[in-house]
Structure 1
């Protein structure tokens, strides 16, 4: 997985009826765009994540 500052991580809902989660990448902590990433959720909460296999990257345009 490769991501850069400003990209988004998208994780599908884990239970039926649960919406996907979208996080803005605000810092890349790994080498050459690899995880972990510091992300910000829509509610402003920040955390460091190691994305799972079902997470995708939406690259900024």
Structure 2
């Protein structure tokens, strides 16, 4: 799994009816976008995160450069 600062990590709920969790990646500590990531969760707390098979990365689209 590879990610960039500003991407989102989505962790799928483990049981029926359990909501997904979402976290903003604020730091990438692995080489070439690999984990671990420092993330800010949707409830406001920060943690170091190592994704597992229930997590996906939602890419943050690059902003077009101004000419």
Q: Give the TM-score band, short-chain normalised.
A: over 0.9
Question: Hey, what's the Cα distance between the residues in 2 that align with 1:15 and 1:24?
Answer: 23
Unpaired runs of at least 5, structure 2: 62-67
Compute the TM-score of the two structures, normalised by the length of structure 1. Answer: 0.94
Unpaired runs of at least 5, structure 1: none
> Radius of gyration: which is bigger?
2
State the Cα distance separating 1:54 from its structure 2 match: 1.9
Over aligned residues, Cα RMSD in angstroms? 0.7
The number of equivalent residue pairs is 61
Compute the TM-score of the two structures, normalised by the length of structure 2. Answer: 0.86
